Amino acid sequence: MSEPLRLGIAGLGTVGTGLLKIVQTHPDLLAARAGRPLAISAVSARSRGKNRGVDLSDYDWEDDPVALARRDDVDVFLELMGGENGPAKAAVEAALASGKHVVTANKAMLAIHGQAMAEAAEAAGVALRFEAAVAGGIPCVKALAEGLAGNRITRVMGVMNGTCNYILTRMAKAHLTYNEVFEEAHALGYLEADPTLDVGGIDAGHKLALLASIAFGTRVAFDAVQLEGIDRVSIADIEQARDMGYRIKLLGVAQMTGRGLEQRMQPCLVPAKSPLGQLDNAMNMIVLEGDAVGQIVLRGAGAGEGPTASAVIADVMDIARGAVLPTFGQPASTLAAAPPACSAAPAPYYLRLMLQDKPGALAKIATALGDAGVSINRMRQYGHDDIAAPVLIVTHTTSPDALAHALAGIEATGTLVDPPVALRIEEV
C-alpha cells in the first residue's frame, strides 16, 4: 500500500474531535477507500490539558498552528479553528506557502479571503477544499463543482442555518414568540457567541457567497449579499403564512440575472408542501437548479460533530486519492468579478400592517399601493381591537423598488401603529 497521507489538525473543538473519532474508529475502511492510510502527525489547540474524550497520545503537539502548518511531516493541514482572520488565516497562508494541501470548515475566512487563497493554492499546485464550510454534512460543494459540472446553473437556494430554522419551527409548533425561542436556543447552546451571526443571516450569507462563486464562475462576493435576519418575524406572521399555505424560512437565493449577480439571505414565504416548506428543526436543505439536470434537493444535518467531521474527511479522502481540483470549480484566475444585481427579481410579497382603527385608513393604504404600481392579490383584516387593526395583504408580482416606494407611501399616510412587515414569497 502507498505511503500514508500525513495530517496536521489545528482546532480540537467539536469538529476536530469528531474528525479524530472517525480516523481512530475506521482506519482500515478509510485506507481501503483512499488507497493509502491516513496518519495524524500532530495537532494544535488553545488548551493542551483539556479533556476532549479522545486519545491524543500518539500525536505531536504544537502550541502554534502556524508552526503546525509548516511541519515537514504534514501533507494536509486541516484548519478547524474558525475566525475570518487571526491564527486561522495565518496558518492557512503558511500551509499554502509551504506547499501543503488545506482542508477547512471556515466559511467566514473563505467568504472574505477565498479568492486570494484559491490563487495561492493553485499557484502551489495544492488543494484547498471546504466541503464542511457549507451545510455541514450535506455534500453540496462537491455536487455543485463536480456532479453538476456539465450544467449551466440557473439558481442556488436553500436553508443554510440550522439555528434559524430551529427558531422558526419552534415558534410555529409551540406558538411561542421570537424572543421566547431565542432565549431557549441560547440556553441550549445553539447560538454563536455573537448571536447576530446566526439570526442576522451572516453565517448563512457566508455559505451562500461560496456556493454562488462555484455556481456562476464568479469571485466570492460576500459584501454583495443582501442580508436580513429573522428578528422581525412574529408569531402572527408565521400563523398567517400557514393559513395561506406557506411556511417562513430564512432562505438564501443566488441567481445570475440581466441586472447582475443576485445574492440574498432573507426571511421568505415558501409553499408549505414544498421540500423547503417541510424542513423542520435544525436541518439544512440546499436546492440546485441546472439547465440539464433540472432541480435537485439535498437535505441533512447542517452542523454538529459527526456531520461536519464527515464532510472534512470526505475532502481528505479526495486528496488521498490524488484529486487536486480548483477551489471554486474552475481556475481562480478565470473567476469573473460579477457586478451585483441592483435589485432582486420581481416576486409577490406578504405585507402585515398594523393600522389605526379609524375610518378611511384602509383606503389610504390601497391608494399608496396603487400609486406605486403595486396591485393587491389578497387582503384580509383580522382580530382588531380599539387601538389597532391588523391587515394582511398579498401582492401580485412586483419589483422590490416598487414595493419600497409603496411602503414609503404607506408610512407617509400616518395610519400605521407599528412599522410594516414585508416578506418575499419565493416559489420553489
- Please return the burial class of 318, using the count of CB atoms within 10 Å of its CB with bins 0-12, 13-18 and 19+: buried
230: its cell numbers: 429573522
Could you tell me if 360 and 420 lie in one domain?
Answer: yes
Confidence of residue 386 (pLDDT cuts 50, 70, 90): low
Q: Which pLDDT score is estimated for 193?
A: 80
Query: Quick one: pLDDT at residue 270?
Result: 97
Considering only CA atoms, which of 219, 206, 254, 193 is closest in space to residue 108?
A: 206
Question: Which residue carries 453538476 as its cell?
Answer: 148
pLDDT at residue 149 tops 90: yes
Q: Tell me what the pLDDT averaged over the chain comes to.
A: 94
Both 224 and 111 in one domain: the answer is no
For residues 201 and 290, state if they share a domain: yes
**How many domains would you assign to the chain?**
3
**Rounded mean pLDDT of 33-53?**
94
Sort strands 76-79 and 226-227 into parallel, antiparallel or unpaired: unpaired
Please indicate whether residue 207 is annotated as part of the active site.
yes
Domain end point (choices 334, 357, 376): 334
Domain stops at, among 104, 133, 162: 133
Please give the residue range of the domain that contains residue 368.
349-425
Q: What is the pLDDT of residue 383?
A: 67
pLDDT of 295-348, one tens digit each? 999 999 988 899 999 999 999 999 999 999 999 999 999 999 988 987 788 999
Q: Is residue 23 part of a domain?
A: yes
Residues 6+ apart with CB under 8 A from 337: 218, 219, 221
Burial of 188 (0-12, 13-18, 19+ CB in 10 A): exposed
Kindly tell me if the per-residue pLDDT of 187 is higher than 90. Answer: no
Q: Are residues 125 and 181 in the same domain?
A: no
pLDDT for residue 358? 83
From CA 385, how far away is CA 237, in angstroms rounded? 18
Is 319 part of a structural domain of the chain? no
Q: What is the pTM of this model?
A: 0.94
Distance CA 169, CA 155 (A): 25
308: in domain: no
pLDDT of residue 258: 87
User: Same domain, yes or no, for 259 and 374?
Assistant: no
Do both 117 and 148 map to the same domain? no
Q: What percent of the chain has pLDDT over 70?
A: 99
12 shares its domain with 58: yes
- Higher local confidence (pLDDT), 304 or 88: 88
For residues 133-161, average pLDDT: 96
Residue 47: C-alpha distances to residues 52, 121, 196, 236 (Å): 10, 29, 27, 46
Exactly one of 207, 273, 358, 364 is catalytic; which is it?
Answer: 207
For residue 115, is it within any domain? yes
**Strand locations in 280-398 (E):** 283-290, 294-301, 349-356, 376-381, 388-395
Question: What is the average pLDDT across 221-225?
Answer: 95
The verdict on 63 and 17 lying in the same domain is yes
Q: Are residues 146 and 125 in the same domain?
A: no
CB 230 within 8 A of CB 267: yes
d(CA 206, CA 204): 5
Q: Verify that 13 and 129 share a domain, yes or no.
A: yes
**295 and 183 inside one domain:** yes
**317 domain-assigned:** no
Residue 251 burial (CB count, 10 A): 26
Identify whether residues 383 and 270 lie together within a single domain: no
Mean pLDDT of all residues in 364-392: 87
Residue that is last in its domain, among 74, 100, 133: 133
**CB neighbour burial string for 217-249, b if at least 16 within 10 angstroms, e if fewer:** bbbbbbebbbbbbbbebbbbbbebbeeeebbbb
pLDDT, position 217: 97
How large is the average pLDDT for residues 145-160?
97
Write out pLDDT tens, residues 122-144: 999 999 999 999 999 999 999 99
CATH code of 243's domain: 3.30.360.10
pLDDT band at 384 (very low <50, low <70, confident <90, very high): low
120 inside domain: yes
**Beta strands 153-159; 246-257: pairing state:** antiparallel
- pLDDT at position 343: 77
> What is the tens place of the pLDDT at every residue in 250-275?
999 999 998 899 999 999 999 999 99
pLDDT at 344: 82
**Would 318 be classed as within a structural domain?**
no
- Domain assignment present for residue 307? The answer is no
Phi and psi at 85, nearest 5°, equal -130, -150
Read off the pLDDT band of 428 (50, 70, 90).
confident
Percent pLDDT > 90 in the chain is 85
CATH number at residue 415: 3.30.70.260
CA–CA separation, 226 vs 265, rounded Å? 6
- Residue 28: the pLDDT is 96
**CATH code for the domain in which residue 22 is found:** 3.40.50.720
